[in-house]
Structure 1
Amino acid sequence: MDSITYEELTDLINSFQRQALHLEMRDSYGTAAELLHLAKWEAGEPDDTDWLQPWFDRVRAATEAGKVIRRARIVSEPVSDYQKWVLKDSHLFVEAGEDIRWIPRSRVSTVALPGNDFWLFDDQVVIFLIFAGSGSIVGRQKVTDPTIVELCRHAFDAAWELSIPDGEYKPD
C-alpha cells in the first residue's frame, strides 16, 4: 500500500472515468473542514452550506458527463449527533448528483467489510481513509491489487443491497 496526499486523492476524484464508490463506516468524523460547521449546528446557530459548493460543483460536472458517484453510509442507530447533522443536508448532495444510501449497522452484521472507509475508482484503485479515534483523517492508502479491489467492490455491493435511499431513510 502506498500513502498518498489529499491532493492525490482529489486528483483521483477529479479524473475517474466511470464510477466512484465511497463507503463510510464511522459514526462521526472530525475533519477540519467540518468542525466549525458542526459546532455551529450543535450550538443551534445558523450556518450556510457555501463551503460545500466546490464539492457540489465537482459532483454536478461528473454526473453531467455521465459518471456515477455512489456513497454508502453505515451508521449505528440511534444515529450520532454527527450523523444527524449530516442527514439534515444530505439531500443537497443528492440534488448535486450523488446517489447516497444509508445502512443501519445491524443490517451488515454478516457482511465482510474492510477495516477502513474507502473510495473505489473505476473498479481499479482503492483509497483507504485512515482516521484517528477523534475522527480526524491521518492518512490515505492507495491499493491497486486486484484482490483488494474485488474485496472492496464486494463489500460495497453487499452494503448497497441492504441500503435505504437517502430520501427514505428516517432514523429513530
Structure 2
Amino acid sequence: MKYPVREGLAQARQSAVHLEMRDRYTPDDPEFARWRAGHRYAGDPANLPDWWGSWRDLVGETTARGVSMRRARVVSEPVTDYIRFEHDLTFANVAAGELVRWLPRRNAADIALPGTDLWMFDGSAVLFTFFSGDGDVVDREWNTEPAVLDLVNTAFETVWARAVPHEDYKPT
C-alpha cells in the first residue's frame, strides 16, 4: 500500500471525510516556501503546483462515483503562515469537488477529538496519520474498531456542524 489515502478513496462508495488538526505540515514543502516568498494562487488553476493535477483528477473520479468528500480543518487563531498558505490554495480543493470547512480551535474545546489527523471512508474504516513534531508524516494506521469509528464519526460531524464553509472563513 504505497499511498493509502488513494486506496481508501478508490474503495469508497458513499463518503470520505478528512479531519485536519495541525497548524503546520511538511516544513520543507517547496510550494510553502514559494508562497512565503510572495507567490499567490489568486484562484487561478494555472498557478497551481504540478502535483495538483493528480489530486484534482482523483477527487473528480471519486466524486463522479457519487462519493461525498468533506474536509474539516481545526485551526488555531491567529492562524500560522502555513494555514494562510492552505487557505490560499483551498479554492482548488473546492473546484475539484471537495467540501471544505474551517473551525477555530477555540470553538472545538469541548469536542472529544481523535489525537491525530485522519481520513474516514464510508464510516467503516479510519486511516490515522501520525506526524513528527515538525509536521512530517511518520506513519499511517488503519482502524476498523467500532468504538473508534463511532468516536471519529461523532467528532467529525460535530466539527462539521460548527465549522465555517471555506468561502465564508477569513483567517485571522
TM-score w.r.t. length of structure 2: 0.91
Bigger mean CA deviation after superposition, 40-49 or 17-26:
40-49
Q: Where does structure 1 lack aligned partners over 5 or more consecutive residues?
A: none
The partner residue of 2:26 within 26, 30, 38 is 30
Measure the CA separation in 2 of the matches of 1:54 and 1:85: 20
Cα shift at 1:31: 6.7
* Alignment check: 8 A CA contact 2:18 2:70 kept: yes
1:38-77, aligned counterparts within 5 Å? 38-45=32-39, 48-49=47-48, 50-77=50-77
Q: Give the direction of change, closer, same or farther, for the CA distance of 1:45–1:96 in structure 2 (3 Å limit).
A: closer
Measure the CA separation in 1 of the matches of 2:122 and 2:150: 12
Write the letter of the residue equivalent to 1:155. Answer: A
Q: 2:150 is matched with which residue?
A: 150
SS in 2 for 1:44: coil
* Alignment check: 8 A CA contact 1:31 1:137 kept: no
Measure the CA separation in 2 of the matches of 1:45 and 1:85: 10
Q: 2:117 is matched with which residue?
A: 117
* Alignment check: 8 A CA contact 2:129 2:139 kept: yes
TM-score w.r.t. length of structure 1: 0.91
1:75-94, aligned counterparts within 5 Å? 75-94=75-94
Cα shift at 1:111: 0.5
* Alignment check: 8 A CA contact 2:40 2:88 kept: no
Cα shift at 1:6: 4.1
The number of residues matched between the two structures is 166
Q: Give the direction of change, closer, same or farther, for the CA distance of 1:11–1:95 in structure 2 (3 Å limit).
A: same
* Alignment check: 8 A CA contact 2:103 2:163 kept: yes
Write the letter of the residue equivalent to 1:7. Answer: Y
Write the letter of the residue equivalent to 1:125. Answer: A
SS in 2 for 1:159: helix
Q: Where does structure 2 lack aligned partners over 5 or more consecutive residues?
A: 42-46
The partner residue of 2:5 within 1, 6, 9 is 9
Cα shift at 1:45: 4.3
* Alignment check: 8 A CA contact 2:123 2:149 kept: yes
Cα shift at 1:7: 2.5
